[in-house]
């Protein structure tokens, strides 16, 4: 069998430690069949083989995004009001006014994202009055840049059924006016699910919208060079959309899903054992329901991350508040043990160092009674892993736990400003110890957390990991520059490492004979590009299983 295509005269970064760099690849039957020098690989050509001259351009494995909310991202692109986290409160209000003017009365206006720096202002009654003034005929729901909190207007509060007497849901808070007790419209953590459920009830054909959103999301991901991704919180409707798309032959990427073990921020009804029991119904060639998603804490911007040291003092929380974990260590031990019994893994959301320590402790317990891990067992993930106590850094490798990183979130910008407002500077700035984790041998994998960020552009994260600066500019200084990494390490973090963390490394993540022909061609030699210009890199073409699924115009 001759190769269908041979790509030659290129600079091939294989992400395969044994092979290093190459000049050419051959593809047949959706897989790489040869990788090497031009003469050797071109010698495999047959009468029907297409020869593609790369003209010296760089070819590398498809990007693997270890953490996104792809369907939400597609939905945002197709249907939602778009805000920027840098907008002022007045600018957000004006955007809502314009969207309401173009929307039929009574229809929901929803979207995001507003910046964490607005939390304090939005929590006041005056902000609700300003929102109501421009949206009286429409229920409104706006997500913040952590996706953990929602801002709604009075019309939405009425539709949701929130009054001054409505109790807070477990692990959530309906923010109230200190004087009157009336809801201010700010819903924190699990209270956000009340608003999300109300929006979903208003959509006539939710299944069709979900499938369209899923399709659009994968198109966007392919455009940035992504050929495999892990959806970080996959509720049943999302799982149904993914499986339907793949069975129709329309899913151009590998997708590992993370089935929520707890109530989610979206307010999904089916979670935990009942959802996990149905997972095999939706397993397809490209959809792998192999993870359970758990939340150990919230986010530092609203002081809901579980920390080892206190936040800045406030009138309500005093001087010694550190946040609280959402799951006890014994309960987490039971979840991890159950996952391993099912042949699954866990992805645990941890934004605070106390949450990270508790999760490592729980994994340690499971490892102790399931036998020592030899590196071939289940690789569990700690999602975000931004604040990590130095004593816990070596434990990632020792316990075979991957650090799921979110580089596009943390470099200097609105979220980091909000964290500095909540935490002492010296603690807030010791954020994302990437070099320390790497040098300790931890498995590092990178994700976008889209649509927490506006788009899943990996090149922003690649540059940020190397420069520790905001690639878009506008914010002075670098965040803990001693933790910078080199380009080759970062490219592995975005390819083979992420595939390994997701359980896909036998299929994809590197350019090796026998693996899926998932690769991209970029417009520059990344290793000859100044670090501060890496974010300008463009993907010329994206190939999934040997098919071109994106080509730059």
CA distance 292 to 182: 37
Strands 183-189 and 287-295: unpaired
**CA 259 to CA 268: how far, in whole Å?**
11
Contact 412, 464 (CB under 8 A): no
The pair of structure tokens assigned to 492 is: 């592995």
The length of the chain in residues reads 553
Asked whether residue 163 is domain-assigned, the answer is yes
pLDDT (tens digit, 9 = 90+) per residue, 158-184?
A: 889 888 888 998 878 888 887 788 888
In a domain, 279, yes or no: no
pLDDT of residue 170: 83
Give the pLDDT score at 507.
98
Token representation of residue 256: 């590992």
Q: What is the pLDDT of residue 142?
A: 94
Q: Tell me the CATH number at 84.
A: 3.10.310.70
In a domain, residue 545? The reply is no
Q: What angle do CA 113, 116, 117 make, to 5 degrees?
A: 120
CA 348 centroid distance within chain? 13
Q: Are strands 140-144 and 149-152 parallel, antiparallel or unpaired?
A: antiparallel
pLDDT digits (tens, 9 = 90+) for 43-70: 999 999 999 999 999 999 999 999 999 9
- At residue 544, φ and ψ (nearest 5 deg) are -125, 125
Collapsing DSSP to helix, strand or coil, 228 comes out as strand
Q: How many angstroms separate the Cα of 52 from the Cα of each of 3, 131, 159, 515?
A: 12, 56, 58, 20
Query: In this predicted model, what pLDDT tens digit does every residue of 393-407 receive, in sequence order?
Result: 999 999 999 999 999
Domain contains 32: no
Task: Supply the pLDDT for residue 316.
Answer: 72
Q: For residues 57 and 46, what is the distance between their CA atoms, to the nearest angstrom? A: 24
Of the candidates 354, 356, 363, the one whose C-alpha atom is nearest the C-alpha of residue 333 is 363
pLDDT number for residue 478: 92
- The pTM of this model reads 0.89
Token pair listed for 158: 């009425």
Q: What is the pLDDT of residue 264?
A: 65
User: What average pLDDT score do residues 330-336 get?
Assistant: 97
How far is residue 270's CA from residue 95's CA, in Å, rounded to a whole number?
34
Q: Is residue 132 within 8 Å of residue 183, measured between CB atoms?
A: no
Residue 311 tokens, joined: 């936040």
What angle is formed at CA 39 by the lines to CA 37 and CA 43, rounded to 5 degrees? 120
What would the mean pLDDT of 337-358 be, rounded to a whole number?
97
pLDDT of residue 230: 98
Indicate whether 153 belongs to any domain: yes
414 three-class SS = helix
Q: What is the pLDDT of residues 468-498, one digit of tens each?
A: 999 988 887 899 999 999 999 999 999 999 9
What's the sign of the alpha-carbon dihedral 327, 333, 335, 336? positive
Q: What pLDDT, on a 0 to 100 scale, did the predictor assign at position 376? A: 52
HEC profile of 269-302: CCCCHHHHCCHHHHCCCCEEEEEEEEECCCCHHH
For residue 47, is it within any domain? no
Q: Domain limits at 133? A: 79-201
Measured N-to-C along each axis, helices 70-79 and 206-223 cross at an angle, to the nearest 10 degrees, of: 100
* Beta-bridge partner residues of 189: 172
Give 408-449 pLDDT, tens digit per residue. Answer: 888 888 888 889 999 999 999 999 999 999 999 999 999 999
* Mean per-residue pLDDT, 333-361: 97
Alpha helices in 43-174 (DSSP H): 70-79, 89-101, 119-122, 125-135, 154-160
Residues β-bridged to residue 384: 350
Per the CB < 8 A criterion, the answer to whether 445 and 493 are in contact is: yes
> Does residue 153 surpass a pLDDT of 80?
yes
Q: How many domains does the chain have?
A: 1
Q: Are 110 and 83 in contact (CB under 8 A)?
A: no
Alpha-carbon torsion (149, 233, 346, 516), positive or negative:
negative
Q: Which residue has the higher pLDDT, 105 or 509?
A: 509
Mean pLDDT value of segment 499-526? 98
Is the model's pLDDT at 372 over the cut of 70?
Answer: no
Q: Is the pLDDT of residue 207 over 60?
A: yes
> How far is residue 215's CA from residue 218's CA, in Å, rounded to a whole number?
5
Query: Which residues, in sequence order, are CB contacts of 120 under 8 Å at separation 6+?
Result: none
pLDDT digits (tens, 9 = 90+) for 244-296: 999 999 999 999 999 999 876 666 678 899 999 999 999 999 999 999 999 99
Token pair, residue 197, equals 């459920």
Per-residue pLDDT tens digits for 313-324: 987 777 899 999
| pLDDT for res 266 | 61
Residues 232-241 have a mean pLDDT of 95
Q: What is the pLDDT of residues 192-205, one digit of tens each?
A: 888 888 888 888 88
> What distance in Å separates the CA atoms of residue 5 and residue 547, rounded to the nearest whole number?
10
Whole-number Å distance between alpha carbons of 110 and 267: 16
In a domain, 89, yes or no: yes
Half-sphere exposure at residue 286, Cβ-oriented, CA atoms within 13 angstroms = 23
| DSSP for residue 318 | B
177's CB contacts (< 8 A; 6+ apart) are 125, 183, 184
pLDDT at 461: 96
pLDDT at 141: 92
Please, what is the average pLDDT of the chain? 93
Confidence band of 373 (pLDDT split at 50, 70, 90): low
pLDDT at 172: 86
Of 419, 546, 438, 420, give the one whose Cα is nearest residue 492: 438
Q: What is the pLDDT of residue 374?
A: 56
Residue 218 included in any domain: no
């Amino acid at each position: 069998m001759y190769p269908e295509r041979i790509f030659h005269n290129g600079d091939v970064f294989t992400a395969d430690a044994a092979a290093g760099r190459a000049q050419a690849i051959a593809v047949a039957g959706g897989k790489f069949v040869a990788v090497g020098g031009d003469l050797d690989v071109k010698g495999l050509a047959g009468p029907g083989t297409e020869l593609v001259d790369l003209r010296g351009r760089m070819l590398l494995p498809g990007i693997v995004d270890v953490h996104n909310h792809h369907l939400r991202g597609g939905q945002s692109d197709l249907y939602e009001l778009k805000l920027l986290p840098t907008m002022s409160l007045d600018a957000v209000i004006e955007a809502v006014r314009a969207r309401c003017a173009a929307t039929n009365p009574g229809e929901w206006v929803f979207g995001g994202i507003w910046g964490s720096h607005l939390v304090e202002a939005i929590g006041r009654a005056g902000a609700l009055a300003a929102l109501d003034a421009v949206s009286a005929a429409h229920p409104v729901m706006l997500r913040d840049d952590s996706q953990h909190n929602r801002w709604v207007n009075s019309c939405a509060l009425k539709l949701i059924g929130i009054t001054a007497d409505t109790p807070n849901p477990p692990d959530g808070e309906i923010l109230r006016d200190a004087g009157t007790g009336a809801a201010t419209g700010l819903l924190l953590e699990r209270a956000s699910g009340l608003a999300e459920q109300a929006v979903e009830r208003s959509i006539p054909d939710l299944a069709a919208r979900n499938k369209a959103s899923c399709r659009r999301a994968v198109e966007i991901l392919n455009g940035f060079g992504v050929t495999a991704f892990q959806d970080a919180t996959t509720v049943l409707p999302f799982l149904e959309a993914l499986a339907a798309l793949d069975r129709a032959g329309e899913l151009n990427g590998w997708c590992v899903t993370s089935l929520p073990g707890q109530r989610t921020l979206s307010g999904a009804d089916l979670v935990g054992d009942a959802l996990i029991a149905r997972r095999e119904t939706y397993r397809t060639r490209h959809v792998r329901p192999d993870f359970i998603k758990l939340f150990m804490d919230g986010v530092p911007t609203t002081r809901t991350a579980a920390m080892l040291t206190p936040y800045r003092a406030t009138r309500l929380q005093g001087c010694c508040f550190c946040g609280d974990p959402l799951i006890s260590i014994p309960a987490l031990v039971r979840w991890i043990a159950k996952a391993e019994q099912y042949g699954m893994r866990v992805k645990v959301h941890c934004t605070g160092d106390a949450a990270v320590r508790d999760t490592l402790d729980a994994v340690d317990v499971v490892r102790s009674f399931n036998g020592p891990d030899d590196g071939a067992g289940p690789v569990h993930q700690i999602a975000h892993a931004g604040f990590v106590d130095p004593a816990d850094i070596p434990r990632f490798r020792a316990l075979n736990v991957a650090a799921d990183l979110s580089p596009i979130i943390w470099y200097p910008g609105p979220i980091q400003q909000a964290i500095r407002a909540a935490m002492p500077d010296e603690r807030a700035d010791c954020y994302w110890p990437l070099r320390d984790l790497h040098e300790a041998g931890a498995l590092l994998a990178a994700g976008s957390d889209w649509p927490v960020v506006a788009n899943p552009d990996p090149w922003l994260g690649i540059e940020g990991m190397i420069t520790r600066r905001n690639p878009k500019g506008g914010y002075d200084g670098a965040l803990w520059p001693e933790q910078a990494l080199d380009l080759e390490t970062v490219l592995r973090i975005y390819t083979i490492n992420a595939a390994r963390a997701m359980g896909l490394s036998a299929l994809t993540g590197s350019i090796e004979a026998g693996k899926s022909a998932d690769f991209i061609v970029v417009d520059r030699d990344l290793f000859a590009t100044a670090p501060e210009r890496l974010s300008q890199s463009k993907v010329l073409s994206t190939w999934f299983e040997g098919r071109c699924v994106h080509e730059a115009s």
